[in-house]
């Protein structure tokens, strides 16, 4: 597990989930290294790499050659 699930997107449900998480010591069951690695998947660098890869794949799939300008920014 790398997160905490709650039933509804309501303040009370989030509060209850957090209280249960803390009072039951569930946080001790989550390995710090696994959480860190999971969080890195949401970094700016990771986002840039995935987006760049998707764009390159799209350009290649649509036969756009290096002579074509692809707007950036």
Task: Walk along the chain (73 residues) and give the pLDDT tens digit of each residue.
Answer: 677 888 899 999 999 999 988 998 888 888 889 889 999 999 999 999 999 999 999 999 988 866 555 666 6
Q: How far apart are CA 49 and CA 12, in angstroms?
A: 37
The verdict on residue 71 lying in a domain is no
C-beta of residue 2 within 8 angstroms of C-beta of residue 38 = yes
C-beta of residue 41 within 8 angstroms of C-beta of residue 28 = no
Structural domain tally of the chain? 1
pTM over 0.85: no
The verdict on residue 51 lying in a domain is yes
pLDDT at 71: 65
For residue 39, the enclosing domain spans: 11-60
The verdict on residue 54 lying in a domain is yes
pLDDT at 30: 85
């Amino acid at each position: 597990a790398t997160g905490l699930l709650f039933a509804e997107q309501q303040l009370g449900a989030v509060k209850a989930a957090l209280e249960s998480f803390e009072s039951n010591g569930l946080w001790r069951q989550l390995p710090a290294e696994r959480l860190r690695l999971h969080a890195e998947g949401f970094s700016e660098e990771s986002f840039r790499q995935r987006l760049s890869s998707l764009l390159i794949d799209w350009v290649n799939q649509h036969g756009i050659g290096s002579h074509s300008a692809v707007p950036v920014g």
